[in-house]
Chains A and B, each alone.
Chain A
Amino acid sequence: MTNPIYLDYQATTPVDKRVLDTMLPFFTDAYGNAASRNHAFGWVAEEAVDTSRAQIASLINASEKEIVYTSGSTEAINLAMKGVGEMYESKGKHIITCLAEHKAVLDTAKHMEKHGFEVTYLQPDKTGAVSAEQVRDAIREDTILVAIMWANNEVGTINPIREIGAVCREKGVLFFSDSTQAVGKIPVDVEADNVDMICFSGHKIYGPKGVGALYVRRRKPRVRLVAQMDGGGHERGMRSGTLNVPGIVGLGKACAVAEADMEKDIAHSNGLRERFEKKIFDALDYVFINGDENRRLPGCSNLSFAYVEGESLIMGFKDLAVSSGSACTSASLEPSHVLQSMEVGDELAHSSIRFGFGRMTTEAHIDFAAEQVIDAVKKLRELSPLYEMVQEGIDLSTIAWTGH
């Protein structure tokens, strides 16, 4: 076992060996430009790109013509939201999203606000989920787009996408779902789930970084976008720029592997999480699960260890690579906007750690990690004036704190 142990699968994943092996020839031998129509190098590259398109389409039950390659989810989000905004602004300039979205969505929405759009930010419930009813209530005459994430990247909560999609369809509003954390991890079916656009990145599903895709529905309804990148008219004019052929080949293979192994991957990740959480809850008191315990991404475990602060915890996990929702790990000094939007309380937000388990995580990793977490929490609670007060029976909410 090599240290540190990687437990941050929501941030990124290692490239699967099967994926890497498929990619390698496209760097050195089949290095053609997929847009070169005049020679075999180009044809080989184009064929590889088409194979990937079919693999991606198969995973999400789309047609190949509905896949637009991008550099990743952030670019796809920008293209989807700004592209729809510019195309349909004569119909209306109102969009709906949620406070718990990834910054790529929130910052794009902010950008659109500066350009005259009005944005409604739905407040998620305390598990981080948005309901179809909330969306229904927010839709207005001039609403042109609803952007709600499939699954939350920090707490793993899975939104009721099919129901939200049904509301959007009924109201004639386009529905975009950032599905970066969902595609390849849980079943995603663009037809059954009523989505018009979704996006994802290769590196979250054991593929390479720097490549992703946007699904754009072609029928019922046909979604039209204004390109955000002008150039050679690649990707049916929606995204110009020479295709990243090795990356795209990797993305396609990653999707094919994910489709073939999904059941196995889900069982593996969930089994590991169960093992981890059992050990933690058996050994420690005052630990809380952030997110919806029953509707969480496989392998995602976001826990708050009350009365100890997240950054100091991470210092204690010397051999673990994990993320914290604490302010102190960021430059902003604000705790996670996701946990804040869920109103778990800033105090618990400061005490949160996201553990992510995946395909390459083993039971030995889990056992080692649980032990290190338990030791660190116990040590820091010995140091914690809050834990001491709680042990003495003092209600922390009755104290007049001197905030700073």
Chain B
Amino acid sequence: MAYSDKVLDHYDNPRNVGSLDKKSKDVGTGIVGAPECGDVMKLQIQVEGDTIVDAKFKTFGCGSAIASSSLATEWIKGKKVDEALAISNTEIVEELALPPVKIHCSVLAEDAIKAAIKDFKDKNGSAAPAEAQKA
């Protein structure tokens, strides 16, 4: 299978790899996927006010899954929480030129963003805007 240059670039130089303190109140953690399905993404955000000031990820999965989550952290950093919620998997598919068989990787990345934001909101009551929480 041939990978796009962008997938290869994210694989070779993944952005924002790492972990934030999941116990911290301003950190939201989303873990999606399952080991037996061959992909698990952990995406974390650190929020100040309503802005995502930092994002980190770790991914178990194929190159496209790694690239999708790496790209997701790049995109959400500096965005308002609501803007991040609006990111859809089709944008990731386009940016990385994912083939049909890899679309689920982009879906997982979208789910990971939404799960991280939901976790942050759950931790902070209704402090943040509360629409469209369900991944």
Contacts and interface: CB of A to CB of B under 8 A. Distances in A.
Interface of A: 307-309, 311-312, 315, 326-329, 331, 333, 335, 345-347, 350, 382-388, 396, 399, 401-404
B58 A385 contact: yes
Interface in B101-118: 101, 104, 107-108, 111
A303 to B, nearest CB: 17
Contacts of A384: 58-60
Given A385-B42, A402-B33, A333 B101 contact: yes
Central interface residue in B34, B38, B41, by most chain A CB within 10 Å: B38
B35 interface: yes
Nearest to A401: B34
B38 A327 contact: yes
Contact of A383 (B14, B35, B104, B108): B14
B98 interface: no
Q: Chain B contact residues (Cβ within 8 angstroms of A): what range?
A: 20 to 34
B107 to A, nearest CB: 7
Given A345-B36, A383-B66, A401-B33, 14 more contacts: A308-B60, A312-B62, A312-B65, A346-B35, A346-B38, A347-B36, A384-B58, A385-B60, A388-B42, A399-B31, A403-B34, A404-B33, A404-B34, A404-B107
Central interface residue in B33, B35, B62, by most chain A CB within 10 Å: B35
Contacts of B1: 329
A350 B104 CA distance: 16
B41 A385 contact: yes
Central interface residue in A309, A385, A399, A401, by most chain B CB within 10 Å: A385
A333 B13 CA distance: 26
B59 A383 contact: yes
Contacts of B111: 402, 404
Interface string B40-71: 11100000000000000011111111100000
A275 to B, nearest CB: 29
Contacts of B32: 402, 404
A281 to B, nearest CB: 22
Interface string B4-19: 0000100100100101
B132 interface: no
Contacts of B37: 346, 403-404
A402 B33 CA distance: 5
Contact of B108 (A331, A399, A404): A404
Given A315-B11, A382-B17, A404-B33, A326 B62 contact: yes
B38 A388 contact: no
Contacts of A383: 14, 17, 58-60, 66
B3 interface: yes
A386 B11 CA distance: 18
Central interface residue in A327, A383, A384, A399, by most chain B CB within 10 Å: A383
A388 B19 contact: yes
B122 interface: no
B63 to A, nearest CB: 5
Contacts of B41: 385
Nearest to A381: B60
B26 interface: no
Contact of A309 (B19, B62, B104): B62
29 contacts: A309-B38, A309-B61, A309-B62, A312-B11, A312-B66, A315-B3, A326-B62, A327-B38, A328-B38, A328-B61, A335-B38, A346-B35, A347-B35, A347-B36, A350-B38, A382-B17, A383-B17, A383-B58, A384-B60, A399-B31, A401-B36, A401-B40, A402-B33, A403-B33, A403-B37, A404-B37, A404-B107, A404-B108, A404-B111
B34 A402 contact: yes
B40 A385 contact: yes
Interface string B89-101: 0000000000001
A312 B38 CA distance: 11
Nearest to B17: A383
Nearest to B102: A328
Contacts of B59: 383-385
B36 A346 contact: yes
Contacts of A386: 35, 40, 60
B39 interface: yes
A387 B101 CA distance: 26
Nearest to B104: A404
Contacts of B35: 346-347, 350, 386, 396, 401
